[in-house]
Chain A
Amino acid sequence: EAGVTQSPRYAVLQEGQAVSFWCDPISGHDTLYWYQQPRDQGPQLLVYFRDEAVIDNSQLPSDRFSAVRPKGTNSTLKIQSAKQGDTATYLCASSLGTGGYEQYFGPGTRLTVL
């Protein structure tokens, strides 16, 4: 069984540029999470979906960040105008449900904003 895949693995931008991250979850997993992990910190939830619906995006900076999962499978996280403070690893995870279910993480996309 294939795990969670993410692309690209690395991205380097100048401030003000846009970037998109793509995630392919494990087949059959209805729940998909996006986390931001700054260097030497724990993962911080940005948004999560159940199928195509956003369940919680309260921690997503809505002025510059957006996330979609149109068919309830793959997902895209986009930063419209990147800032140096966005430098972090962006992790995608999927699971069979919320709360008490194990999350399976992808390898992450390491973003550097200069």
Chain B
Amino acid sequence: GNSVTQMQGQVTLSEEEFLFINCTYSTTGYPTLFWYVQYPGEGPQLLLKVTTANNKGSSRGFEATYDKGTTSFHLQKASVQESDSAVYYCVLGDTNKVVFGTGTRLQVLP
């Protein structure tokens, strides 16, 4: 079945540092890969979407890329801000299935 693995449970950075979060996935189909962000007290919201056609997406200073060869996709940002503190989920969407990763809690210190 479809699965995603998000190894980094917690990441702590100082402002203006570089962010890199990695996910690996497993599927037999042609997936769409998402990054969702969740702030306290809210539901998750879409940050980025990457398809097998475009390999890359960007939004709000974040960039996501995927590598079909290693079945991995990652999220990066050159310079984080305190307001980026949140939980980030990688999500695999494939035909009729959507699978969330376990989440990476990002804490950005001022």
Contacts and interface: CB of A to CB of B under 8 A. Distances in A.
A34 interface: no
A93 B94 CA distance: 17
Contacts of B34: 102
Interface residues of A, number: 22
Contact of B96 (A56, A91, A103, A107): A56
Which secondary structure dominates where chain B touches chain A? strand
Contacts of B49: 102
A85 interface: no
B43 A106 contact: yes
B45 A105 contact: yes
Which secondary structure dominates where chain A touches chain B? loop
Q: With a 10 A CB-CB cut-off, give which of A4, A44, A106, A108 has the most chain B CB atoms.
A: A108
B69 to A, nearest CB: 21
B85 to A, nearest CB: 15
A38 B66 CA distance: 29
A98 B95 contact: yes
A98 B96 contact: yes
A94 B45 CA distance: 12
Interface string A47-63: 00000000110000000
A93 B43 CA distance: 9
Contact of A45 (B32, B95, B98, B103): B98
Contacts of A104: 45
B43 A91 contact: yes
A99 B97 contact: yes
Interface of A: 4, 33, 41-45, 55-56, 91, 93, 98-108
